[in-house]
Amino acid sequence: QTTAERLRSALDCVARAAHDEALDACFTFALTEKGEPRSAFATAATRKKHPSLEPLVRRFAEAVAEAREQWNALQRAEDAAAALALALKLDQAYEDAKNAAGVLDFDDLIAHAQALLQRSDAAPWVLYKLDGGLDHILIDEGQDTSPAQWDLISPLQDEFFAGRGARADKVRTMFAVGDPKQSIYAFQGADPKRFLSEAQLLSKRAHRAGAIFKAPVLETSFRSTPEILKAVDAVFRDRPLVAAEPGKHDETRHLASREDEHGIVEVWPLLMRPETRPAEPWDAPVDVQTEASVHAQLARRVAKHLKAMIETREAIWDKRALRAIEPGDVLALVKTRGALFRELIKAFKSAGLPVAGADRMILRDELAVEDCLALMRVALDPADDLSLACVLKGPWLNLDDDDADLFPLAYGREQGETLHKRLLANRDRKYANARAFVSDLAARAGADAFSFLSWALETPHFGGPSGWELAFARLGMETRDPLQELLQRSLKPHGYAAPTLQRFVSDIERDAGQVKRELEAETGAIRVMTVHGAKGLEAPVVILPDSTSAANTKPDDNLIFDQSGPYFSQRESEDDAAGRAARQAYKEQMLGEHWRLLYVAMTRARDRLIVCGAQHGSSKDGEAPESWRLAVEQGLTKLGAKTFEAPTGAGLRLGTPAHAERQRRVEPASHALPAWAKRNAPGAAPLAFAAPSRVGHIDPVLFSPRGQGQRRFRRGLMIHALLERLPEVAAERRDEAAKAWLARQGVGEADAALFAREALSVINDARFAPLFGPGSRPEQPIIGEVDGRYVRGIVDRLAVDNERVMILDYKTDRPAPESADKAPDAYVLQLALYRSVLRKIFPRRAVTCALLWTETPHLMTLPDARLDAALHALTHG
């Protein structure tokens, strides 16, 4: 648009009283995309012809700019209000969920402890008691202490400087250790400035109280060689890690304790992305890293170089002597567990180097865990074609050739024919193990998760290796940790729900939480982890291959928190003055975090440090101006490092490689395990099983005289299902919904009408309303122990209120008994067992049991005396 067109559009909106459009049109006319007044509004000829026009329009533009600023402020206030309203709702829902579960999170522990020290009714007594027994305060990793944690410590310090306390004759001390240069947990609230301000505050308080205060500067490093420390000092000489007062904590300087033991720092040139990419398979996943990807190339070069270092016996220092580098000496650090992280692990494996796997894992995403879940899904539903295909291709059956093994089995099936049916019908010998194994899976559908996993992993399958051995052979030894964690999860209680396979599979599938693995150097394997995960660790050889990206200065979800509260802006161009200031402060904070993260990464190295990287983004430079690789390269250049031929081109190296002398390797004698070591240990004597549905005998006379065989069981199942589903349906729709659902189950019209009438006569009966109200739940699993017997079953309906618990069991027998004393003993015992378990769960509530005979309908409450007698007969008879 021309200037005239923009102005005409604005005037037209004003004339139509379209205020919002007019405002936008004025913004477009007067301001640039950055929200600044335009530099020119007319051509030179127009300005010459109308000299008074330009100043007038410019004053108008300045007024529009001011209005735009006020408009942005108003919009950001509305956005913040909306964000806060949503946050308050979510926070309340989160608090309600924690209260319902009876749990606290980590922040709660800090907040409740703070409240205890700040409440007017409790704080004086608590502080008096602490003053009477508190002699020393020790704060470790002070640079990572959050403001909330400092606020918790503050009242404890107060008593140290309050004059004569409860123990005036006792010299008490406070000791805080921390390095602001290593503060890398801003996402948890840590701020190095707070650590320094707390030190200054403590100094002032100690001075006023006449106490001794010392703040020693620790410059000597006992970990790293002189070359590594020189490189660190050179890199951070012009990059202050912590914004502080001038002349304080603004220069990084280290002294080496290991001054006679020399190491190496290398920086490789940037590995650029190939100009032409080979064609990728049409069916490749969207996030797959092809062999030609720059991350895969860099990972392979790192692995090849590392293998060469090990094979040529390049040396490190160990106990003041040189020895050859081993895989367990190597620590590869990345910023995130992204594509490069996975490619490094893959490349080390391909090079034949032992690797410890990922330092953190999401259990459900681990291949070995997915294979175990596939086993469970097939056990629960053999008709699940996808899961069965995963089992066939997985470690247990290893039919991994799609063309030779799976395609002939799956191709050409008739409509509705499952893969399971085809497998059982195929008599080819190569599927013999698969047929037997899948049948074994189906037979274990009723097992609990731990029993199922123990069978799958511990049992020697097909007369050969155990499940553990099959998983290790296919997926590597690093699968041990996720499988052991899966076993641990199977032993954990699941609230009031029975530990069925279905529940366990559902829990694992929904769990996106991370599991931390402790990667110890003593395992002899290369460790690959994030810099955050490596905090506090060290290694003789450290590799930094993830070094070309920019600092992450963009706020998560465009939400910035500062001392004045949250600021929300979807686009930086729409920030007001407060937002620009908050965003700039956040960028400076995260840039400092970016450099402190590099400091932590570099100082993990004892003897050798290798910094390399691949092209990041689409810029011609291939890396950000503040990239780690570029910073280290500039530092080594200042130190006069020499060029050398690196795996990616001409690099810089500070120090000279040393080699260890070759020694004759004495292979340890191998001993074959005796046969007994491979046999499963005998299990402990199992608990006596008391499934309520199996502990008694049902007199066949109670079954319906109107039909025999499958129909009578089908009637019972259908009515049970309707009683479970219909209470959640609106009353006026129940009859229609019942008949529609029965039709989908293949029930004829006559039977559907009969079944629906019988179920609805129960649900619509006002006498039974409390049993189908909001406080009740259908089909509730129940598990527990009664007098040494393991009880597990399903309660048809469980109603719980503040005073009582009611167990309801539906019975469709015809004819129904007339009174409670004529109820079948097996039914009475079933409810007696349930009652015993629920009394332990709800010890302060009365537990009543009832049978609901659907034909009459008739609710039969069982007296406690009858229930007690049935249970006594079982446990003492």
- CB-based contact 461:437 (threshold 8 Å): yes
Q: 443 and 354 in one domain?
A: no
- 84, with CB counted inside 10 A (0-12, 13-18, 19+), is middle
Beta bridge partners of 255: 220
Q: 757 and 646 in one domain?
A: no
Nearest alpha-carbon partner for 597 in 335, 393, 837: 335
Give the mean pLDDT of 475-497.
77
pLDDT of residue 280: 62
At residue 471 the predicted structure's pLDDT band, cuts being 50, 70 and 90, is: very high
At residue 666 the predicted structure's pLDDT band, cuts being 50, 70 and 90, is: low
pLDDT tens-digit series, residues 364-377: 888 999 999 999 99
Is 222 domain-assigned?
Answer: no
Beta bridge partners of 490: none
Please tell me which residue, 148 or 54, carries the higher pLDDT value. Answer: 148
Please tell me which residue, 58 or 390, carries the higher pLDDT value. Answer: 390
Please report where in the chains the tokens 């600023």 appear, as a residue.
Answer: 69
pLDDT of residue 267 exceeding 90 = yes
Is 15 domain-assigned?
Answer: yes
pLDDT of residue 867 exceeding 70 = yes
Give the mean pLDDT of 252-269.
92
pLDDT tens-digit series, residues 569-601: 877 877 888 888 888 888 888 899 999 999 999
On average, the pLDDT of the chain sits at 83
pLDDT of residue 701: 35
Counted domains in the chain: 5
SS3 per-residue string spanning 528-559: EEECCCCCCCCEEEEEECCCCCCCCCCCHHHE
φ, ψ at 558 (rounded to 5°): 60, 30
For residue 456 the two structure tokens come to 């799958």
DSSP class of residue 314 equals B
pLDDT tens-digit series, residues 633-662: 999 999 999 999 999 999 999 999 999 887
Beta strands 526-530; 330-334: pairing state: parallel
> 516, 531, 561: which is the final residue of a domain?
516
Give the mean pLDDT of 856-866.
86
Q: 448 and 349 in one domain?
A: no
Helices (H) and strands (E) in the chain, counts: 27, 24
Domain harbouring 452, CATH code: 1.10.486.10
Give the mean pLDDT of 74-92.
88
Is 100 domain-assigned?
Answer: no
Is 627 domain-assigned?
Answer: yes
pLDDT of residue 574: 78
Domain harbouring 203, CATH code: 3.40.50.300
Is 678 domain-assigned?
Answer: no
pLDDT of residue 671: 64
- CB-based contact 340:299 (threshold 8 Å): yes
Q: 624 and 526 in one domain?
A: yes
Nearest alpha-carbon partner for 646 in 263, 294, 301, 316: 301
- How many other C-beta atoms lie within 10 A of the C-beta of residue 286? 4
At residue 544 the predicted structure's pLDDT band, cuts being 50, 70 and 90, is: very high
pLDDT of residue 339 exceeding 70 = yes
Count the alpha carbons within 13 Å of 549 in the hemisphere toward its beta carbon. Answer: 15
- CB-based contact 806:792 (threshold 8 Å): no
Domain that holds residue 617: 264-273+290-359+522-552+596-654
- CB-based contact 405:430 (threshold 8 Å): yes
Beta strands 255-256; 220-221: pairing state: parallel
Q: 848 and 769 in one domain?
A: yes
- CB-based contact 640:259 (threshold 8 Å): no
Q: 701 and 817 in one domain?
A: yes
pLDDT of residue 500: 82
Provide the percentage of residues in the chain whose pLDDT is more than 90: 30
Is 585 domain-assigned?
Answer: no
- CB-based contact 324:313 (threshold 8 Å): yes
At residue 226 the predicted structure's pLDDT band, cuts being 50, 70 and 90, is: very high
At residue 247 the predicted structure's pLDDT band, cuts being 50, 70 and 90, is: very low
- Distance from C-alpha of 600 to C-alpha of 285, rounded to nearest angstrom: 35
Give the mean pLDDT of 526-538.
91
- Distance from C-alpha of 24 to C-alpha of 10, rounded to nearest angstrom: 8
Provide the percentage of residues in the chain whose pLDDT is more than 70: 85
Give the mean pLDDT of 290-301.
84
Query: What distance lies between CA 47 and its chain's CA centroid?
Result: 64
Q: 506 and 544 in one domain?
A: no
Q: What is the pTM of this model?
A: 0.67
Give the mean pLDDT of 122-151.
80
pLDDT of residue 664: 59
Q: 512 and 491 in one domain?
A: yes
Q: 394 and 355 in one domain?
A: no
At residue 303 the predicted structure's pLDDT band, cuts being 50, 70 and 90, is: very high
DSSP class of residue 404 equals I
- How many other C-beta atoms lie within 10 A of the C-beta of residue 238? 11
At residue 496 the predicted structure's pLDDT band, cuts being 50, 70 and 90, is: very low
Give the mean pLDDT of 735-748.
86
Please tell me which residue, 146 or 329, carries the higher pLDDT value. Answer: 329
Is 644 domain-assigned?
Answer: yes
At residue 1 the predicted structure's pLDDT band, cuts being 50, 70 and 90, is: low
Domain harbouring 849, CATH code: 3.90.320.10
pLDDT of residue 713: 59
Q: 405 and 340 in one domain?
A: no
- Distance from C-alpha of 813 to C-alpha of 826, rounded to nearest angstrom: 13
Q: 696 and 834 in one domain?
A: yes
Helix (H) or strand (E) holding 781: strand 776-786
pLDDT of residue 358 exceeding 70 = yes
Give the mean pLDDT of 749-756.
89
At residue 35's C-alpha, the angle toward residues 33 and 40, to 5°, is 80
pLDDT of residue 249: 47
Residues of 10-35 as b/e, b for ≥16 C-beta within 10 angstroms? beebeeeeeeeebbebbbbbbbeeeb
- CB-based contact 646:261 (threshold 8 Å): no
For residue 471 the two structure tokens come to 């998983």
Q: 112 and 210 in one domain?
A: yes
At residue 311 the predicted structure's pLDDT band, cuts being 50, 70 and 90, is: very high
pLDDT of residue 704: 36
Least confident residue range of 639-653, 660-674, 736-750: 660-674
pLDDT of residue 225: 95
- Distance from C-alpha of 255 to C-alpha of 258, rounded to nearest angstrom: 9
Is 563 domain-assigned?
Answer: no
pLDDT of residue 246: 41
- 609, with CB counted inside 10 A (0-12, 13-18, 19+), is buried
pLDDT tens-digit series, residues 675-723: 766 666 665 444 454 545 545 443 333 333 334 445 555 777 788 788 8
At residue 858's C-alpha, the angle toward residues 852 and 859, to 5°, is 50
Count the alpha carbons within 13 Å of 780 in the hemisphere toward its beta carbon. Answer: 20
Say which residues have a Cβ less than 8 Å from residue 825's Cβ, sequence separation at least 6: 696, 870
Radius of gyration of the chain (CA): 36
pLDDT tens-digit series, residues 179-224: 888 888 888 888 888 888 888 888 998 888 888 889 888 889 999 9
pLDDT of residue 552 exceeding 80 = yes
Quick one: angle between helices 367-380 and 449-458, nearest 10? 120
- CB-based contact 864:828 (threshold 8 Å): no
pLDDT tens-digit series, residues 624-637: 999 999 999 999 99
For residue 403 the two structure tokens come to 């063309």
DSSP class of residue 614 equals B
